[in-house]
Structure 1
Amino acid sequence: MSRPIIATINQNALQTNLSIVRNIASGSRLWAVIKANAYGHGIKRVWKSLSSTDGFAVLSIHEALLLREQGFQKPILLLEGFFHPHDLRILHRYHLTTIIHSHWQIQALKKAHLSSPLDVYLKMNCGMNRLGFQPKDVRNVWHQLKALKNVGTLTLMAHFAKAQCIYDIMKSMQRIAQSSNGFNCTMSLANSAATLWHPRTHCQWVRPGIILYGASPSGDWKDIASSGLMPVMTLNSKIIAIQKLVAGSKVGYANNYCASRAQYIGIVACGYADGYPHHAPTGTPVMVAGSMTQTVGSISMDMMAVDLTRCPQARIGSLVELWGNNVKINDVASVSGTISYELMCALSSRVPVKIT
């Protein structure tokens, strides 16, 4: 038999989460963000479950073309825009919407020979200092783009660095309002956190990402526990061995766990080569045979140890939930000093995936 680890993708959860976001931002159209291979869930696996979205937002032309090849005909937004002037021919051919965040892209648009215009998102830098034009320059850039024959619809876009913070949202919204005064333009501002918690940011388009996959953008599951959002990915494995420890027994590399009393531990077929966080400390939550327990010792490449003190029913072959409906991925990430986004994206290609 094959190694028992498996990731399960719940299509119903995806559809439910999309519906919940639609209800939250009922006056807005929706870009479903599926960059990074749909946050590790697999674009090919999930796009149909999200196909009622108004459009998909991706990172690369490769992801966009994959969607077109799969039959998706609605708008697709390139979140980093294009990377070379010759990319514009591909954008035109496949009807892709591009972000413009740099002056060189404006010049490329100006010089391109296109038979019809492209839809464009003008990226404003609201203080995150990754991509986009400074607020003081937005008005000038807006009018430059408006004057180009290769530009069709023009939308103003921004991204919030601290979308959980109402004070930061208020400051950013003030900058946006000042920079766009008189434009009467379509806007796309809200990421997952802003979509959930700041209705004034919804405007014409929202861009939910992590919440579509059932995790909290704040890193704390409690912040979305009452929302109805459902975890989409469950990572399961099984107990493949059981060890009986006496007081003073050490566990794992570096022997950084020492049993203070006699106890049983289970060895689980899952490690950092599967995408589980190497830095997960002793005490990281895990469920074994329906009972909540915790990891002990270091995470190895292919295995980990879990405490069976609270799981007297555990046997070799008992089911282990690493994250999913019971063990929240936010909780695993928080204890491990990382974020749920990273855990989803880190799922290894060696882990089999089942769609339900």
Structure 2
Amino acid sequence: MSEPYLSINLESIKYNSMLLSSKTNRECELIAIIKADAYGHGALEVCQALESINVFAVARLSEGVALKASGIKKDILVFSGINTHRELMQALEHELTVVIHTESQLDILRALPACCELNCWVKFDSGMHRLGLHIDELSRTLSALNDMPYIKVNGVLSHYSSADSDSERSLLQLDKFECAVSNIDINSSITNSAGLLQGYFREQSHARIGLSLYGVSPFSNKIGYDFGLRASQTLNAYVISVRQHCKNEPVGYDGIWISEQDTNLAVIGIGYADGYPRSAKSGTPVLIHGVEYPLVGRVSMDLICVDIGNDSEVKVGDEVVLWGGALPIEHIARCAGVIPYELLTGVSKRVNRRYFNN
């Protein structure tokens, strides 16, 4: 029997990048966020597909090293930066661009061999209060970096904390960021997917796109399609059993769902070990032949059950859509009480990836 697979449409990702680019000014450059294996889509495959993007960003040094070792020549920005001399030397070896977010990193940079050159961005804390320099630290850090002739500062960046839910807070952050960089002749970037789609964009040189690149809305009350985005993936599995189920009988672990009538159940070969969320509630829809059927009972490690009723023609071997296409991932995330990011990044390695362009 065929196993679950994730269908990934690289053409949709390319389309989304062009659409998002059209929402900026003409001078703005997009940075594609491909951390967490490009949100589960495959970082290498996404890099290779996005010919129009010149800068990619990852969370960790190891992600950037792996991409460079695979032959990616374009700029790769590492958000976590470097925190040891060994990491500094790795960044140099693989020509990675690092983020400077704390003054303690300056001591590491001072050990950089004079014959080497390192590119960096500097992070300003405009209100996220997680990583980043305060305004006095920003001034000192830029001054210190300017005194290091082997360090090239590409720009200053920051990050919204609530661009998807709090416009007032986001605009305050934008004002604070613009004030911090107003007297510096340097590239700047604070805009993310939510900020770009909400219009929190002014005259920055770069916008960083993550979730929206993959066709997903960052807003809880909208789906990607509402913004003209194209979904980039579909999670599929197969029916492995169809069985009769009696009225008043439970199904699955803990018997949390009990049938109110005689019915039929389809058992589907996917579970939380594949990345289908265990928190998905009874009633969460799946698609079989374009018809929605409700999940019943608890999601187990390898299997789920859906109620297909007494008149369905569903049979063993039929393909099932868990999300994607007519079943937006945003809707499944709401049913499971999670955010779409968790579903995208949670699909496990035992689920085969299939790539196509159309």
1:200 positional shift: 2.2
- Whole-Å separation in 2 of the counterparts to 1:345 and 1:325: 18
Equivalent pair of 1:292/1:310 in contact (CA under 8 Å): no
After superposition, what is the alpha-carbon deviation per residue over 1:203-251, rounded to whole angstroms, capped at 9, x for unaligned?
10111011111111124443x3232211112111111111222321111
- Whole-Å separation in 2 of the counterparts to 1:178 and 1:261: 65
Structure 2 residue 6 is matched with structure 1 residue 7: yes
Choose 313-322 or 271-280, whichever is displaced more: 313-322
> Mind listing any 5+ residue stretches in structure 1 that lack a counterpart?
none
After superposition, what is the alpha-carbon deviation per residue over 1:284-327, rounded to whole angstroms, capped at 9, x for unaligned?
12111210222111001110011213972312222110011121
Residues 1-356 of structure 1: pairs in structure 2 closer than 5 A:
1=1, 3-27=2-26, 28-164=28-164, 165-201=166-202, 203-222=204-223, 224-309=224-309, 312-356=312-356
- Whole-Å separation in 1 of the counterparts to 2:130 and 2:31: 20
Equivalent pair of 1:195/1:201 in contact (CA under 8 Å): no
TM-aligned CA distance change 1:263 to 1:166, over 3 Å: same
Q: TM-score, normalised by structure 2?
A: 0.93
Choose 100-109 or 90-99, whichever is displaced more: 90-99
TM-aligned CA distance change 1:259 to 1:100, over 3 Å: same
TM-aligned CA distance change 1:262 to 1:201, over 3 Å: farther
- Whole-Å separation in 1 of the counterparts to 2:89 and 2:310: 61
Equivalent pair of 1:291/1:310 in contact (CA under 8 Å): no
- Whole-Å separation in 2 of the counterparts to 1:250 and 1:103: 59
1:335 positional shift: 1.3
Equivalent pair of 2:24/2:201 in contact (CA under 8 Å): no
- Whole-Å separation in 2 of the counterparts to 1:199 and 1:173: 8
TM-aligned CA distance change 1:264 to 1:221, over 3 Å: farther
> Mind listing any 5+ residue stretches in structure 2 that lack a counterpart?
none
After superposition, what is the alpha-carbon deviation per residue over 1:243-295, rounded to whole angstroms, capped at 9, x for unaligned?
22232111110000011122222111010111110111101121112102221
Equivalent pair of 2:4/2:236 in contact (CA under 8 Å): yes
Equivalent pair of 1:265/1:306 in contact (CA under 8 Å): yes
- Whole-Å separation in 2 of the counterparts to 1:89 and 1:265: 57
Q: TM-score, normalised by structure 1?
A: 0.94
Equivalent pair of 2:181/2:188 in contact (CA under 8 Å): no
TM-aligned CA distance change 1:202 to 1:253, over 3 Å: farther
- Whole-Å separation in 2 of the counterparts to 1:311 and 1:352: 32
TM-aligned CA distance change 1:12 to 1:256, over 3 Å: same
Matched to 1:105, the amino acid is Q
TM-aligned CA distance change 1:179 to 1:242, over 3 Å: same
Matched to 2:169, the amino acid is D
Equivalent pair of 1:287/1:320 in contact (CA under 8 Å): yes
Matched to 1:39, the amino acid is Y
Determine helix, strand or coil for the equivalent of 1:102. coil
- Whole-Å separation in 2 of the counterparts to 1:225 and 1:299: 28
Determine helix, strand or coil for the equivalent of 2:351. coil
Matched to 1:71, the amino acid is G
TM-aligned CA distance change 1:214 to 1:202, over 3 Å: farther
Determine helix, strand or coil for the equivalent of 1:207. strand
Identity among equivalent positions (%) equals 28
- Whole-Å separation in 2 of the counterparts to 1:288 and 1:311: 14
Query: Number of matched residues?
Result: 354
- Whole-Å separation in 1 of the counterparts to 2:303 and 2:98: 43
